């Protein structure tokens, strides 16, 4: 069953272009069927990934953290509890394609 993750974050003022340039180098990881980055507001973005399974995303956790580490210095802290990202994930229950 497909699995989805979403991550919300905010880029520091003046660093959006650098953030987007680094993201252009990222490719889908093994088991990742699709990924999208979209802008939700003033310097706020959301990443969405669709995965083959929960096991597939779990197997790539270290690689996802590695990608985050490449841009972490460009992100604002959302809150002390969340840090620089607000991630959620779960099983896909409906597919509208």
CATH classification for the domain delimited by 3-91, as one of 3.30.70.2190, 3.30.70.100, 1.10.3720.10, 3.10.20.600: 3.30.70.100
**pTM (predicted TM-score):** 0.91
Strand-by-strand arrangement of the 44-51 sheet: 32-41, 44-51, 3-10, 86-91
What's the chain's average pLDDT? 97
pLDDT level of residue 12 (50, 70, 90 thresholds): very high
* Per-residue pLDDT at 44 exceeds 90: yes
Tokens 């989805």 identify what position?
4
What's the pLDDT tens digit per position in 17-40?
999 999 999 999 999 999 999 999
């Amino acid at each position: 069953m497909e699995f989805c993750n979403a991550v919300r974050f905010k880029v520091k003022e003046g660093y959006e272009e650098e953030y987007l340039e680094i993201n252009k180098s990222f490719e889908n990881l093994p088991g990742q069927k699709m990924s999208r980055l979209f802008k939700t507001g003033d310097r706020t973005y959301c990443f969405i990934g669709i995965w083959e399974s929960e096991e597939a995303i779990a197997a790539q956790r270290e690689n996802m953290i590695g990608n985050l580490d490449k841009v972490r210095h460009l992100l604002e802290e959302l809150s002390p509890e969340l840090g620089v990202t607000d991630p959620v994930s779960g099983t896909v229950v409906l597919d509208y394609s």
